Amino acid sequence: MKRSNAIELGLTIPLQRHLHIKALPYSQEPNRRFCWDLHVILLRGRPSLLAVHCHTRYAFVLYDLSHPEWERLPNIFLDGLRLSLSAAGFPAEETKKLCGSELPLFARTHGRREVAFLNRAWGDVMAAELALDENSQSQPLLEQLVNAKLSRCAGIEGLDTAARRLTEMLSQI
């Protein structure tokens, strides 16, 4: 049974392979405001998590996750999301709206457009890699650079920053 406004984590095929997951269900969440697509990327040779919000293209990175952390991905995702939003200046009550009260569910990625914008966010992360702090798993400076860049996204028409789109979206929920 589908939970109301549950966070859904769409895992890319490379991330499914990395986690040794054979098959995932299709998305059940019609509201992309509660959907994220996740990808494993190499940053300075270390397996890292890239999470991209399907509606706004807000992105965050967790650098150099260990094997046990990958095994606890839903919890690690939520911790990373809270850290990212806090570092970006979002109030705790706004963060709670986006994090929900239950563990996220895994699903397939949320569509071609969403994955295309995830790939663009990945390119933005790689272009800003000089801002990577190898001494920290969370990457607030890198995220700030990526989320302040003018871009397009799957959920909202036009050119804007992911940070501004997320702020606007949170004011509506």
User: What would the pLDDT profile of 88-107 be if each residue is shown by its tens digit?
Assistant: 999 998 888 888 888 999 99
Burial-class residue 20 by CB neighbours within 10 Å (0-12, 13-18, 19+).
exposed
In sign, the C-alpha dihedral spanning 64, 69, 73, 76 is negative
Count the neighbouring beta carbons within 10 Å of the beta carbon of residue 81.
21
User: What would the pLDDT profile of 26-72 be if each residue is shown by its tens digit?
Assistant: 988 888 999 999 999 999 999 999 999 999 999 999 999 999 999 99
Write down the pTM of the prediction. Answer: 0.95
162 vs 85: CA distance, rounded Å? 12
User: What would the pLDDT profile of 112-150 be if each residue is shown by its tens digit?
Assistant: 999 999 999 999 999 999 999 999 999 999 999 999 999
What is the 8-class DSSP label of residue 84? Answer: H
To which residue do tokens 């150099």 refer? 64
